Structure 1
Amino acid sequence: MNGFYKLTTIVFFLVSTSFTYSQKVDSIPRKKITIPKITLAPKIDGVLNDEVWASAPIATDFVERQPKNGVPIPDSLKTEVKIVYDDLGIYFGATLKDPQPEKILRELTERDQIENDDFFFILLNGYNDRQQSLQFIVTAAGVQYDAKMTNGNEDASWNGVWYSAVQITDDGWVAEIFIPYAELRFPNKNIQVWGLNMEREFRRSRTRYTWSPVDNTKGEFSFYDGEIYGIENVKTPTRLSFQPYVSAYLNDYDGKSETVFNGGLDLKYGINDAFTLDMILVPDFGQSKFDDEILNLSAFETQYEENRGFFTEGTELFTKGDLFYSRRVGGYPSGDVNLEENEVVERFPATVKLINAFKISGRTDKNLGIGIFNAITERTYADILNTETNTRRKELVEPLSNYNILVLDQRFGGNSSVSFVNTNVIREGDYRDANATGMYLDLINKKNTLNYTASTAGSWVKDNTSEFGMEGSAGIAEISGSHRFSAEINFRTKDYNINDLGYSSETNYINYYGYYGYRYLQPKGFLNNLNLNFNLNYTRRLETNLYNVFKFNFNSNFVTKKFTSFGGGFEMTPFGANDIYEPRVENWYVTTPAYYDIWVWYSSDYRKKFALDVNLEFNKFNQIARDYIEVEIRPRYRISDKWKLFFGTDWIFSDSEEGFVNLKDQNIIFGRRDRNTLINSLESQYIFNNKMALNLAFRHYYSEVEYSKFFTLQDNGGLLDNSDYLLNHNTTYNNWNIDLRFSWWFAPGSQLTLLYQNSIENSIAESGISFSNNFHDLFDAPQLNSFSLRVSYYLDYNRIGSWLGKNKIEDLSPSKKRKKKMNLSSGI
């Protein structure tokens, strides 16, 4: 344990001394533009003929970012952007020349998707800290994409309400954009200085050009933004919006139908210019997409993607340290049932109902980010049936529960940060409570070439007893140049458990990690990009000390000048492993043989109508007949700029794998099994225009497991034949999902969604079923058919006030052309 305390001491020392670190980075020339304030706003129609544009300052002299970093943009693609502002927001008018405007690529997509498109990109940073920015992108087809970018990590789940229009012209295309202050975050100052970069994608040659030059040799893209001056004495309107919704569901499951009507409200309130309250009242997540469920035979639960908008949008502060897994809130009940004689569980709820939730987030003018999240879930019961008396009762499986997160994130030195995170779950009565706390340091040197990281976290769980666990890490990475390296040490104690509000799988280990990478910084020969990396991992169990695994890994990635991508890799464990998790019992382990794993992949040019992705993998163990083969093929075809098809098939064959089966008579039973898995998916999108789309998504997952032999695990990690074990564990599992969704963004921030969903799941204790019999069994299983309609409408407080004549902010209605202070004609 002395090593733990030494590492923790190092972490706290780095945290405590980090504030004395230089607050300046190397002087990198930053482009600057000073913009004027206007009194009459332009019409957002993609035509720059309004009076304000005639005298607006121009941002120009764009420079290529990729693939040829640092080359000036050719005159044939000259790009000029005019920028102005008023009390409502900031306006951009971009003229993007193209010598062949009839060839401008403008594939229609749903909102927040970009495919084969030219686009114009704005990166705004109200705090000018080069760390957290907002992205606003409009494609040549008029489709909007927005996201939050934090230290190079993009969160596309954020959806702002802003306005844009595009026009194809005789010498290129034009993008006109208005971004309200309500969507931005900036300090409460009379004089503002914002970070700004702008980028253009010229899709035909897949080149990108930025206004403020970017050095691809080091750092993140967002570190190289320029600056906007001139924004002064802005009288921003009240940042308050409502999004009421109504929804209706007609559900049929196993011949039983029900009709459900819901109504609720999402609220956003700007507490000040920097902090925002997001609240959801009477939530409704019935139209969330299905999970890609699998047959999980591993020692750990499956971690699924979050599909609920409230938990994905604007949560970048709350994901610091990976202590927050939002699927815990309203997820599977934490309790179990106690059955009496002749009782069976008639219904066990799959989820817990969320009563309400809110989050407050923002950043002070001293660059301190503050995030508060809170959610409450209701009491949830299982239905118990007595088969003898035919009476029913309910048993509590999840009490009234409160989930809370507090985050403090201090940025300094231009591109460094230190963060404090606390998560807390309190359940009513004597049920389990939990708390987790972490500190995280991310430090980059003045030259932007070295990145130092350190962290420490502790977990406390109170159930029948109290348990405390901890984890820690420290690392260094070279982040510039062609040759890059990193080294890291991290550990977790056996009682580290954040699974009440986070996700932790492997525990009780110490790991040493090393990395070396080489990359092209400029195109060479027939390649635009080359990236090679080598990785070493050495892991031991902490209590009691035991070798776990030594692993070598190599990866490669190549992109040709014709934009074909390919690569591959190799992994091996030359000394085998002692798996401390698969036995599912503390202090036990199973010895697994050495293996080598080889994979290759190929991806064709997505600019073509037909594109193809292929992945092949072969894994061979140092054991007779034990291997793993996977073949994944994903063709895609663009029928037109409106209609496209995607197909995927994934075949996985795992022969003679050995894994946990059961605990019986104080013995740990393992089995040797063959497992075959087939996953087919089909997606079709028809995009009517940049506001309306029809999307079909289908997925069928099939997995068959057949056991040939059983063993008893020995205390030395070996397996002893157990011919007396006769229980059947053969399995055939199917999961079938269909989503047919019509979406219409009928007004800014407002959406109508009509959805049909079909879901079937079955699992039978049998293998070797024929193809036809498998589908016969599948369609005989109970299935869910659901039709639903949901309408949400975005209401801005200032617009409501103007309708009622109670404030001076003018109506945004496009029908008020120039008679009002503001006129926006395009919408989403």
Structure 2
Amino acid sequence: MGNKLHSVSIYLLLSFNFLLAGSNDKSIKAIPTTETIIIDGVSRESSWSNALPAKDFTQRDPFEGEPESEKTEVRVLYDNQALYIFFNMLDSDPSKIIQRLSRRDDNDVESDNVTLSIDSYHDHQTGVTFSVNAAGTKSDGLMSDDGKTRDFSWNAVWDVATQVNSNGWTAEFRIPFSVIRFKPSDEEITWGINFARKITRKQEFSTWAFLRKSESGWISRYAHLTGLKNISSPKTLEVSPYLIGTGKYFPAQEGKNKVAGLFPNVGVDAKYGISGNTILNLTVNPDFGQVEADPSKLNLSTFETFYEERRPFFIEGSDIFNFSTFGSGFGPGLFYSRRVGQSINVSAPEGSTIVEEPMNATILGAAKLTGQTQDGLSFGLLSTVTDKEYFTFSNSSGINKD
């Protein structure tokens, strides 16, 4: 009698990104700088005056196609480490700028904000987005399927600062090249780019590259970022070891002995940037105890409840594994990563009851390789190994562990 679970899972997914011709002819040139750019929301460095601004935003809401009601200008600089973007949002009544603090990636909070979106592969299908509201709360995410699918569980390391002043408000970004995937080249490269601004009190949303509601697609209609030369994504290595312990103590009771013990747990996560467009992620005995818990849901239907992936290892490169099966936005697609290390359901043998059972399948280790070739082929390889799990049953003959 036994219920032993042991699994090795390997997933290989390949996708071709079909290059779509964007309809937007706007472009902005990134200006190289050797100055040290201080991220404080103030354009005090002289290099900012050398960059021509992107301006003349167009409303998407509430009056589609009309010029923005408040002027916005954006400038772009870069050095060999990062991209720098400065937003200057003029406002005729700065006292009415709405600035509310919230949790990171909480996009439902009503606050004035700006967004920077980048198609670094220039494949018109995938991209990254960085946002900040007037209070300085950050949001970032991955985009795929021409912007139809967005994943805000991705949290990159980047800097931004905001300032509210007598003319409006400003936002200054520093986006390290190490968090952006792109194809390295010895020649000048071009990325897709767009800027957006939200004025909450007017319910106004404007973009630099105009995105009509009647037209499908989002990333394929971005403007162009030019001027980037001699940049590369450094080969970064991130190693995050951990050591935690769990203590158990049950005092002695009638007919039962005292139970006490300390159960240590150790593991490591690692991320290696093989190149600007290929990342290797490794994890050994991962601990997801600090990951935000799933919200409680009552499901009375015959369909499985799908939860957002929150575990850091599975978030990296998750857009590559995103293939819709029932149309955009329904279900997780062909691959649902939450099934790796999921809870285990086992029925007790006849005449027995379950005394003790594991909460989830233990992931011993996992490896993931994701990236894109020079020809635009996106690839993802994921391998995971889970441990044997044991259940304790009680029946008329005593307690059995199987």
TM range (shorter): 0.7 to 0.9
Q: Write out per-residue CA displacement over residues 766-820 of structure 1, whole angstroms, 9 at most, x where no aligned residue.
A: xxxxxxxxxxxxxxxxxxxxxxxxxxxxxxxxxxxxxxxxxxxxxxxxxxxxxxx
Shift of 1:73: 1.9
Q: Helix, strand or coil for the counterpart of 1:167?
A: strand
Q: In 2 relative to 1, CA 253–178 (structure 1 residues): closer, same or farther, beyond 3 Å? A: farther
Instruction: Give matches, 1:731-750, under 5 Å.
Output: none
TM-score computed with the length of structure 1 as normaliser: 0.42
In 2, Cα distance between equivalents of 1:111 and 1:81: 23
Unaligned runs of 5+ in 2: 1-15, 253-258, 325-332
Which residue matches 1:359? 368
Q: Does 1:156 align with 2:152?
A: yes
Shift of 1:199: 0.5
Shift of 1:315: 1.1
Q: Does 1:36 align with 2:42?
A: no
Partner amino acid, structure 2, of 1:326: S
1:184 to 167, 180, 192: 180
In 2, Cα distance between equivalents of 1:46 and 1:297: 49
Instruction: Give matches, 1:338-357, under 5 Å.
Output: 338=349, 344-357=353-366
Work out whether residues 181 and 233 of structure 2, in 8 Å CA contact, stay in contact via their aligned partners in 1.
Answer: no
Instruction: Give matches, 1:348-747, under 5 Å.
Output: 348-388=357-397, 390=398, 392-395=399-402
Q: Write out per-residue CA displacement over residues 150-183 of structure 1, whole angstroms, 9 at most, x where no aligned residue.
A: 1221110111100111111110111010000111
Instruction: Give matches, 1:170-181, under 5 Å.
Output: 170-181=166-177
Q: Helix, strand or coil for the counterpart of 1:380?
A: coil
In 1, Cα distance between equivalents of 2:223 and 2:27: 6
Q: In 2 relative to 1, CA 31–304 (structure 1 residues): closer, same or farther, beyond 3 Å? A: closer
Q: Does 1:79 align with 2:72?
A: yes
1:273 to 266, 273, 276: 276
Q: In 2 relative to 1, CA 62–300 (structure 1 residues): closer, same or farther, beyond 3 Å? A: closer
Work out whether residues 130 and 139 of structure 2, in 8 Å CA contact, stay in contact via their aligned partners in 1.
Answer: yes
Work out whether residues 248 and 261 of structure 1, in 8 Å CA contact, stay in contact via their aligned partners in 2.
Answer: yes
Which residue matches 2:83? 90
Instruction: Give matches, 1:177-256, under 5 Å.
Output: 177-190=173-186, 191-247=188-244
In 2, Cα distance between equivalents of 1:97 and 1:214: 22
Bigger relative CO (Cα 8 Å, ≥ 6 apart): 2
Partner amino acid, structure 2, of 1:45: D
Q: Does 1:130 align with 2:124?
A: yes
Shift of 1:197: 0.2
Percent same amino acid at aligned positions? 33
In 1, Cα distance between equivalents of 2:250 and 2:223: 57
Unaligned runs of 5+ in 1: 1-18, 396-828
2:53 to 50, 55, 58: 58
Instruction: Kindly tell me the number of residue pairs found equivalent between the two proteins.
Output: 368
In 2, Cα distance between equivalents of 1:122 and 1:92: 8
Shift of 1:63: 1.4
* Structure (1/2) with the larger strand percentage: 1
Shift of 1:376: 0.8
Q: In 2 relative to 1, CA 378–387 (structure 1 residues): closer, same or farther, beyond 3 Å? A: same
In 1, Cα distance between equivalents of 2:378 and 2:127: 13
Q: Does 1:103 align with 2:96?
A: yes
Q: In 2 relative to 1, CA 82–373 (structure 1 residues): closer, same or farther, beyond 3 Å? A: same
Which residue matches 1:310? 313
Which residue matches 1:486? none
In 2, Cα distance between equivalents of 1:254 and 1:225: 65
Q: Does 1:141 align with 2:135?
A: yes
In 2, Cα distance between equivalents of 1:260 and 1:183: 36
Q: Write out per-residue CA displacement over residues 504-555 of structure 1, whole angstroms, 9 at most, x where no aligned residue.
A: xxxxxxxxxxxxxxxxxxxxxxxxxxxxxxxxxxxxxxxxxxxxxxxxxxxx
Which residue matches 1:513? none
Work out whether residues 130 and 195 of structure 1, in 8 Å CA contact, stay in contact via their aligned partners in 2.
Answer: yes
Q: Does 1:67 align with 2:62?
A: yes
Work out whether residues 35 and 45 of structure 2, in 8 Å CA contact, stay in contact via their aligned partners in 1.
Answer: no
Partner amino acid, structure 2, of 1:350: M
Partner amino acid, structure 2, of 1:185: R
What is the alpha-carbon root mean square deviation over aligned residues?
Answer: 2.8
Which residue matches 2:329? none
2:288 to 275, 285, 288: 285
Shift of 1:61: 1.5
Which residue matches 1:546? none
TM-score computed with the length of structure 2 as normaliser: 0.83
Shift of 1:343: 5.1
Partner amino acid, structure 2, of 1:163: D
Q: Helix, strand or coil for the counterpart of 2:275?
A: coil
